[in-house]
Chain A
Amino acid sequence: MLTQSFELMLYGLTGVFFALGILYVITLAMAKLMPAKAPEDSEES
């Protein structure tokens, strides 16, 4: 079970980083493809 718990850490963290990595790439692409054109098109934070 100890080996399985280490596998859980390995695959779990890899999975989280992989999912967020894909999201990172898509977010960068979106920033390039969809820049805020005019002030009224941007969201006030």
Chain B
Amino acid sequence: MEALFSGLMDITWQSLIMIAIGGLLIYLGIAKEYEPNLLVPMGFGAIMVNLPFAAVWSFEGAEGVLQILYNFGIATELFPVLIFVAVGAMCDFSLLLGNPKMLFLGAAAQFGIFATAIAVVVIGQMFPELGIDLKSAASIGIIGAADGPTSIFVAAKFAPQFLGPISVAAYSYMSLVPIIQPPVVMALTTREERLIRMKHTDASISKTALIIFPIMVTIIAGLLAPICVPLVGLLMFGNLLRVCGVLERLSLAAQNELANLVTLLLGITIGGTMHWEKFLDPMTILILILGFFAFIFDTAGGIIFVKFLNLFSKEKINPMCGAAGISAFPMSARVMQQIAKKEDPTNFILMPAITANVAGQIASAIAGGMVLVIVPWLLS
């Protein structure tokens, strides 16, 4: 009889809070449609792992299903890089090849990663009891990549203990881009700047150039930051499947079956890391707050960079395209188009904004690689 009620006796108020948080993630995914592909499995994983005895993680000394998935797919970083194959197969880089200067907008919008890392270090020095080191600061900063797989890839290497909150922050704020970015855009740009029209040149790109591009990006990334090849390389491999023209079935499989399966497993496994003993911690609150600021810093970095470029260039760029340089694709570009349309219903900046957004995809993966190279070098 006692065994029958052992589960009920084992429940704690902390696990009830986590079950509520899991429920909230499911609610946000289903009712608000905020990244439902990830938030629903994540929320369900969080509920399961916080039930008494957490049998889904481990039971009587044996690994549970979520721990097996974690060791197989997250600890080895297999899931995030497989997601990148899918993302690459979905990306159209032809716009970027037609307007390559947009690459720099993607680079500028990575500012949030580094600004947030500095903020984390400052907080760490104010509260030494938090035990923050440069690796954990960089892992929290990487939320500013606005790219789930990159955040998971870096956090799994540098601060696996914070993987759960970092992933939750990265994916939640990506889905909150329509709420986070507009106030920053309005604060940092004038109406005249938001009214800037941009020419969309429908540049015809040769198929050869489209095929060479992903190979070239992989080689450059591999030469400059070899550690980022798993991210950039597989992103570009996915894109090669798309553009080569002879692997349509593989390209479609990457975009659909692979993306769906890995997203499902990734979401539920990340949810499995959200046990209350690891999650209900002052660091989690700090990560969630600073992750929010990482997105604000990214947006500001992109806008300020474009304003700086506009000081010298004849052909002005709408600063909102700088804000679209974050990796949250294609939501950020759509949000910028909505703002532009509000100011002037005949102004269409969607294509240049999407180009900056695609540049952000490449830049965020490279920035992740840079962080992985530079932090150990600074610590050595």
Chain A residues at the B interface, C-beta cutoff of 8 Å: 1-2, 4-9, 11-13, 15-24, 26-28, 30-31, 34-37, 39, 41-43, 45
Contacts and interface: CB of A to CB of B under 8 A. Distances in A.
B95 A43 contact: no
A28 B100 contact: yes
Contacts, number: 137
Given A8-B134, A13-B114, 18 more contacts: A2-B125, A5-B114, A7-B378, A8-B118, A8-B374, A9-B115, A13-B110, A16-B370, A17-B104, A19-B221, A20-B104, A20-B107, A22-B224, A27-B96, A27-B100, A27-B213, A42-B204, A45-B95
Nearest to B225: A15
Contact of B138 (A2, A8, A34): A8
B337 to A, nearest CB: 16
B137 interface: yes
Contacts of B208: 34
Given A15-B374, A17-B107, A2 B97 contact: no
Contacts of B225: 15, 19
Nearest to A11: B374
Interface string B188-209: 0000000000000001111111
Contacts of A19: 220-221, 224-225, 366, 370
Nearest to B377: A11
B45 to A, nearest CB: 32
A14 to B, nearest CB: 9
Contacts of B206: 34-37, 41-42
B18 interface: no
Contact of B370 (A1, A6, A15, A36): A15
Contacts of A15: 224-225, 366, 370, 373-374
Contacts of A37: 206
A37 B125 CA distance: 60
Given A20-B104, A43-B243, A8 B92 contact: no
B213 A8 contact: no
B170 interface: no
A9 B94 contact: no
B367 interface: yes
Nearest to B232: A19
Contacts of A22: 220, 224
Contacts of B370: 11-12, 15-16, 19
Nearest to A6: B118
B113 interface: yes
17 contacts: A1-B134, A1-B137, A2-B118, A5-B117, A7-B378, A8-B117, A8-B371, A8-B374, A11-B374, A12-B370, A13-B110, A16-B110, A20-B104, A23-B217, A24-B101, A24-B104, A39-B204
A5 B213 CA distance: 33
B40 to A, nearest CB: 32
Given A8-B371, A13-B107, A45-B94, A31 B209 contact: yes
Nearest to A28: B100
Contacts of A34: 206, 208-209, 212
A24 B103 contact: yes
A21 B4 CA distance: 65
Contacts of B110: 12-13, 16
Given A1-B134, A31-B209, A43-B205, A8 B114 contact: yes
A1 B125 contact: yes
B302 interface: no
A41 B211 CA distance: 12
A36 B327 CA distance: 28
Contacts of B217: 23
B122 interface: yes
